[in-house]
Every structure is written in structure tokens, then in C-alpha cells.
Structure 1
Amino acid sequence: MTMQTRVFVVHMPPSLASLLFIKAKEIGIMSKGFVWIITDGVTNIIDSLNPSVVEAMNGALGIELYVPESTQLDNFTMRWYMRSSNIEIKHLWTMEL
């Protein structure tokens, strides 16, 4: 008999996703038979998440946007850091290349 697989697509603010994955691990749905796909809102900031949250997300597939290196990107990043030390992918979307 074939086992069913349940697929979850997580598209929510990182603060809620953190709570979701901690709870999902607690109740045992971060295991075989469950597939988790995380959108860029969470994957773009995964490095800044609490290690226990990252551990709970183990096995999830994250979709992350890629912006190739370029002179325009370097110039934009330098100008941005003069105003603010925090740059996110959404700021790069506003950049005209």
C-alpha cells in the first residue's frame, strides 16, 4: 500500500513561521510523510532565526530568491548601507538595473 504524503506550503511572516515549525516538530509532523515548502519571506532571514527554530525546520524545502552579483548591485548596496545597515531582498526589488 502506498503511503500518503501531506504537503504544506508556508507563506507567512517569519515570527509566525517560527512558532509553526516549533509546534509541528513537537506534534511529530516534521517527519516522513510530510513535506514542507517555505517561501522566500522565511528563507531570506533564516540565518537570523533562533537555532532551535532552524533545527525544527530541518528537512523543509526553502525557496529563496537569487540576485546575481553585478556592479549595479554593489553600488546600490553601498548607497543603502549609508542610510541603513539592514538590507533585504525587497529592497533589491526597488533597484533599477
Structure 2
Amino acid sequence: MSFPLYAPAEEHDMLRETVRALADEKIAPQAAAADENEEFPWEVYKALVAADFHAVHIPEQFGGAGADALATVIVIEEVARACASSSLIPAVNKLG
């Protein structure tokens, strides 16, 4: 059964691909070390900030990407796919 009305927009699919590529390249290789060393993943944080994925929900007028709720969830989900601990970076920023 298909529900095209509820399908993600093309922009959301492109966002998922972009975040997944970043997660595979920059986040996943550091995930085990961050957990084993019980350290904040600073390199992951820097990569998310450089890509403007650390707080995508911030409105554009305040310097953010102005992403909607679904885009924010996609970012959190894709980061969590690579490293659950690192997904707290965009997730906690959303809570604020």
C-alpha cells in the first residue's frame, strides 16, 4: 500500500543522503573510541557544525538552517545510525 501524501519530500531524501554520507565518513569511524574512552566526540561535533547539522532546526534569521521537524528527525536518526552517543548533539540542541 502506498500513501504518497505522507511520503517525504525530495529535499528530505536528499538531506538523508547527505547526512548519511557525513555519518559514514566522519562519525562511524570514531564511534567505538568515543564510547570506549567515555569522551565527548569533539571531532564529530566539529563535523556536524561545519555541515550545519548540529542544530538544523534553528530559524534562518538566527543563523540556522531553518529545518522543519522531519528534517531535524532525519539528521538525528542518521547520526544515531552511525553513533548513538553522537546523535545527542543535534537531539539535545533541539530540546533547547
- Sort the TM-score into its range (normalised by shorter chain): 0.3 to 0.5
Task: Give the structure-2-normalised TM-score.
Answer: 0.33
**Higher relative contact order structure (alpha carbons within 8 Å, sequence separation ≥ 6):** 2
As a proportion of its length, which structure holds more helix? Answer: 2
